[in-house]
């Protein structure tokens, strides 16, 4: 398994809402930031996917908000593979506040892979390079 | 049960991404638009909540993307109560494309209600006016 | 000159920031909403432009904030042509609060038109249909 | 004059639009990111302002787009004081693409300072600590 640097995000003013907390929709964007970062780190960046003619739309999103995050704080978003069979990829996220280590949010996204014609492809069969790369990502530890 | 007008949203250019579809995070914002609209229609608008000293943070979000929505399309977001006991409110959403009636996305959010001190309150006990109003909302039909 | 219906925008919760006002970046998006709306009304929608192989990037943006706009308010965004020579289009915007008619923000955007190769085109010469359509838009009244 | 580290921003997928470039409204947000960063570096962070009961709304924004910025690129946003008299602060921004040093966008924002009652205050008179701090920021070089 490869060594992955977790993605850090400094909370911006424009991400707050009038409840004086980060608006919940932004965490979904942070998940994307972290996902892109870990894929880049294993040499499977979105740009390489798109060059290869593959897009990877989001099929589902889940997010559970445990602690409010506020302007001025920095969070670390840890992304781990929950399951991957070459056709469907499920990633789990943990948003941890940097100054106190509190787990503020957990999330999950699932993805498939489509070719230029919009047809689902198996990375395992058609793009083994990406398949092997993704298999080096950290996985969710078994409980 | 009250008659509720579903919320319509015209997809904006700034909501697209380079996949030429609406970025998935925006649906979470559309859920909020629809939620606010139905609460207003029953006389339980966010402004009235905030005047009464109650905020209603989002506890969880789920979204399942079935069909891509694109710039220039208009969607109808139907929001229905999945469950409500005065303390926790779960709302279900259906995002339906207007021109062909296709169900493009289904989602769910859950909420609690907090007073000024950040303590959970029961609307049923402490704010029966809001409790009764929310109970007039359309509910998810039993299967 | 054609009759144009001004664009209305209901302020959303996710558009607020912790100052309890609309974050200033959102007005730039409202300008786009209004611009797209008036172009559609004259039969020169973005989709038709893109079908014709033209994109119209934003060259400059200006915005002057006079009154804060808040959640729950509805604004009307009036878009008018300030200048247009077929090559460069300058649009002026007025954001007027619906309930009291107060002018809350004025803005301006300028645009050129590019073909598929990224080369500037003159609508007057190459796409007279769009040129003529844009010339039917309301113009900024002379002072 | 103090040594200031320019703000770096990695372009995110959710910041693109279907023209496959960064949507122009996001640069306004990047200006804010850079502004907040330089104020923090001189000990005049937004949090300290808000603790002192001061808010600093945006009065005007200007942005001129020279080169398109794309997903995967990193930009440096250099913020400098154009003018400051204790009552009104004008900041100029330069968005420079990291990999080739190209100046992609220049911008400007102006700000005033309001106390809790929404009244304009002079930092020079009422909050000399902030006034002196801001005067240590880099200024736009004279041409």
pLDDT digits (tens, 9 = 90+) for D112-127: 999 989 899 999 999 9
Dihedral angle over CA of B132, B134, B135, B141, nearest 10? 180
pLDDT above 80 for A1: no
Can you tell me the distance from the alpha carbon of C58 to that of C93, in angstroms, rounded to the nearest whole number? 14
Residues C91-116 have pLDDT tens digits of: 999 999 999 999 999 999 999 999 98
H or E, element range at D132: helix D128-134
pLDDT of residue D50: 87
3-class SS of residue C64: strand
Over pLDDT 70: what percentage of chain C?
99
Q: The complex's ipTM? A: 0.95
Can you tell me the distance from the alpha carbon of C14 to that of A64, in angstroms, rounded to the nearest whole number? 18
Residue B140: name the closest of B90, B101, B96 by CA: B90
Residues C1-31 have pLDDT tens digits of: 678 999 999 999 999 999 999 999 999 999 9
Count of Cβ atoms closer than 10 Å to residue D65 Cβ = 21
Q: What mean pLDDT is reported for chain C?
A: 95
Can you tell me the distance from the alpha carbon of A118 to that of B22, in angstroms, rounded to the nearest whole number? 16
Task: Give residue ranges of B with CB < 8 Å to any D CB.
Answer: 13-14, 16-18, 20-21, 23, 25, 71
D13/B13 Cβ within 8 A: no
pLDDT of residue D1: 63
Q: What mean pLDDT is reported for chain B?
A: 95
Residues B10-55 have pLDDT tens digits of: 999 999 999 999 999 999 999 999 999 999 999 999 889 989 999 9
Residues A95-140 have pLDDT tens digits of: 999 999 999 999 999 999 999 898 999 999 999 999 999 999 999 9
Task: Enumerate the β-bridge partners of residue D114.
Answer: D55, D120
- Angle between helix A25-41 and B25-41 (nearest 10): 170
pLDDT above 90 for B1: no
pLDDT above 90 for A50: no
What does the pLDDT average to over A9-17? 98
pLDDT of residue A123: 96
Nearest CA in chain C to A25: C14
- Is the full-model pTM beyond 0.90? yes
| Model confidence band, residue D110 (pLDDT cutoffs 50, 70, 90) | very high
Q: Which of the residues B17, B21, B72 would you substitute to probe the D interface, choosing the one with the greatest number of D C-beta atoms within 10 Å?
A: B17
Q: Identify which has the larger pLDDT, A50 or D122.
A: D122
Question: How far does D30 lie from chain C, in Å, by closest CA?
Answer: 10
> β-strand A88-97 against A74-84: which pairing, if any?
antiparallel
Dihedral angle over CA of B93, B99, B104, B107, nearest 10? -10
pLDDT above 80 for C38: yes
Q: What mean pLDDT is reported for chain D?
A: 95
């Amino acid at each position: 398994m490869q060594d992955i640097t977790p993605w850090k995000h400094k909370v911006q003013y424009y991400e707050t809402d009038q409840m004086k907390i980060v608006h919940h929709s932004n965490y979904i964007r942070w998940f994307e930031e972290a996902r892109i970062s870990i894929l880049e780190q294993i040499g499977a960046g979105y740009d390489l996917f798109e060059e290869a003619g593959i897009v990877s739309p989001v099929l589902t999103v889940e997010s559970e908000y445990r602690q409010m995050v506020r302007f001025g704080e920095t969070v670390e978003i840890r992304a781990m593979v929950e399951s991957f069979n070459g056709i469907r990829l499920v990633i789990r996220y943990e948003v941890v506040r940097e100054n106190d280590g509190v787990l503020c949010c957990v999330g999950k996204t699932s993805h498939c892979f489509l070719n230029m014609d919009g047809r689902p492809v198996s990375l395992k069969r058609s793009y083994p390079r990406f398949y092997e790369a993704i298999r080096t990502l950290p996985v969710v530890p078994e409980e």
